[in-house]
Amino acid sequence: MFRQIITSAFAASLLLAAASTAEAQVSDVQSAKVSVAGIDTNSDEGATIVLRRIRNAAGEVCGGEPSRPLDRQEKFKPCVQEVTQHAVSKLSNPHLTAALREEYTPAAATRLASTR
């Protein structure tokens, strides 16, 4: 039951964020469900997995990654970031919030750049 509520919360959050981000018409609004079955969302590792799933779902809600770099930079990435942040804030899970915050620190950006 609890997992179903969380999944519904994800879907609702992604739906609302996509609508506000894309300034879409009602017929253009999309949603996605994120499964958290079997994941301990109260652990750092579990929160990282769920965050990755939320971001992937946000990418789908935002229309998929465009092939043009300028579109990715100006439209897609900001949409994914806003939808992801909105979904995470709606869940009020400290581990998930910390995982998201860690991704946006300069040290995380340095680690990410060094792995590419």
Q: Which residue has the higher pLDDT, 51 or 12?
A: 51
Where exactly are the structural domains of the chain? 2-114
Nearest to 96 by CA among 6, 28, 25: 6
Round to whole Å and give the CA distance between 74 and 71.
Answer: 5
pTM exceeding the 0.75 threshold for the entire prediction: no
Percent of the chain with pLDDT over 90: 35
pLDDT at 74 over 80: yes
Round to whole Å and give the CA distance between 53 and 88.
Answer: 11
Task: Calculate mean pLDDT across residues 39-59.
Answer: 93
Q: Which two tokens stand for residue 79?
A: 């949409």
Q: Which residue has the higher pLDDT, 71 or 94?
A: 94
- Per DSSP, the three-state class of 115 is coil
- Per DSSP, the three-state class of 100 is helix
pLDDT at 25 (0 to 100): 43
- The mean pLDDT value of the chain amounts to 76
Residues 6+ apart with CB under 8 A from 27: none
